[in-house]
Amino acid sequence: MVFTDIRLQNYRSYKESSFELEGGVTIVVGPNGAGKSNLIEALLLTANNISYRGRDNIIRHGSSWARVDVHTKDNTTRTLKITSDQEKDKQQTEFVIDEKSYTRLPSGQKQPAVLFEPNNLMLLHGEPQNRREYLDNLSNQINDTYNTALIRYKRALAQRNALLKNPHLDNSQLFVWNIRLSELAGTIVKQRMETIGLINAKLSQTYSKISGKNTELKAAYKTSLDTRNYSAALLKKLEAQIELDRARGFTGAGPHREDFFITLNKTPIELAASRGETRTLLLALKIIELEILEEKTGKKPLLLLDDVFSELDGSRRKALTRFLKKYQTIITTTDADVVLKNFSQNCQTIILN
């Protein structure tokens, strides 16, 4: 699926704007605050119902609705409508695809997408939550049922945590939630492990192509529980640490507390990798995302680079440029010269003021 144009109405900073898009590379140039990230976010939401900036304040101030319309090369019309329900203090989302309306984007209508944005630069050294979200986003695009399990897990976790804060709680009341959490957690961790396996199958080779060096890299899931029978192991731990959980007021074990890590020549990257090696590894992960999604969905992913091109040095820019030639790519930047000199093929430029 290739997007040919996009129209935004009352979407964050946009009152009404339309842009044509190339099937190859489109470069969006403008100063900070011009709406570059808003455009990237609108494309990501419309393609796959994924937001990386939170969904608050999507509707332009003073309006009660927002709308994004896109057309594709295969003559599909896709519309995202967001309306504000002030009484319930929430936003309602509707997708319309060729005149058919959906409250949720059907899996068959999702366009896989890979986003590379500034916060990703801290993925490997930042908080575990960022790495969990990375795994969850990729797993969700690979497996249609993953997000459902994750949503149900978070709801069950909220219920259990609410009970833990009740000073009059009978511990037996937690048993049903312990079972529910453990079952859902088993599904989540199984897919996370499969996703890491897919990454590992490509990681060393992709990194070596970019760096020009033969390097052994391996990603591993970080948990204290037995992943071979995760559900049973988690249930046992939840039952064993009920009093500890009650004392701290939250559930201390489960997928919401776990992590993954990467080793470089068998040493954790935070100890072994230089700044340049870390950025090469991040670039390798993004390229691997593109390849995995294309293999698993049969669709070429949309690639969105939000103000990160200038963060890469010359060799890494060239490496990225080689890989992105196959994909529709939107690149935002404050400095057009930094981006344009890396593209000998035709590319489109959009100027935002």
Query: 128 and 94 in one domain?
Result: no
Q: Of 51-65, 188-202, 339-353, give the lowest mean pLDDT range.
A: 339-353
Contacts made by residues 156-159, CB under 8 angstroms, sequence distance 24+: 156/180, 156/181, 156/184, 157/181, 157/251, 157/254, 157/256
Query: 267 and 132 in one domain?
Result: yes
For residues 19 and 10, give the distance between their C-alpha atoms in angstroms, rounded to a whole number.
15
For residues 237 and 182, give the distance between their C-alpha atoms in angstroms, rounded to a whole number.
10
Query: 144 and 10 in one domain?
Result: no
Residues 249-284 pLDDT 10s: 999 999 999 999 999 999 999 888 888 889 899 999
Query: 319 and 285 in one domain?
Result: no
pLDDT above 90 for 46: yes
Residue whose tokens read 């949309």: 302
DSSP line for 88-134: TTEEEEEEEETTEEESS--GGG---EEEE-GGGGGTTTS-HHHHHHH
Query: 291 and 166 in one domain?
Result: yes
Query: 172 and 107 in one domain?
Result: no
Residues 124-159 pLDDT 10s: 988 999 999 999 999 999 998 999 999 999 999 999
CA nearest to 293, candidates 229, 219, 202, 170 = 202
CATH code assigned at 42: 3.40.50.300
**Domain termination residue (choose one: 263, 281, 298):** 298
Residues 207-252 pLDDT 10s: 998 888 899 999 999 999 999 999 999 999 999 999 999 999 999 9
Query: 322 and 223 in one domain?
Result: no
CATH code assigned at 169: 1.20.1050.90
Provide φ and ψ at 261, rounded to 5°: -140, 165
Q: What mean pLDDT comes out for the span 70-84?
A: 93
**Domain termination residue (choose one: 298, 314, 343):** 298
CA nearest to 213, candidates 257, 262, 274 = 274
Query: 271 and 157 in one domain?
Result: yes
Query: 136 and 271 in one domain?
Result: yes
Q: DSSP letter for 170, please.
A: -
Query: 333 and 283 in one domain?
Result: no
Query: 273 and 163 in one domain?
Result: yes
For residues 347 and 187, give the distance between their C-alpha atoms in angstroms, rounded to a whole number.
43
183 pLDDT band, cuts 50/70/90, is very high
H-helix or E-strand spanning residue 139: helix 128-142
**Domain termination residue (choose one: 266, 298, 330):** 298
Residues 307-316 pLDDT 10s: 888 888 888 8
For residues 337 and 332, give the distance between their C-alpha atoms in angstroms, rounded to a whole number.
12
Q: What is the pLDDT of residue 328?
A: 94
Structure tokens at 344: 């000998």
Which pTM was predicted?
0.90
Query: 340 and 267 in one domain?
Result: no
Domain of 145?
Answer: 119-298
Q: What is the pLDDT of residue 322?
A: 84
Q: What is the pLDDT of residue 87?
A: 62
Number of structural domains (the chain) is: 2
| Full strand arrangement of the beta sheet holding 259-264 | 217-222, 259-264, 267-268
Per the prediction, the chain carries an average pLDDT of 92
Q: What is the pLDDT of residue 89?
A: 66
Q: What mean pLDDT comes out for the span 59-86?
A: 92
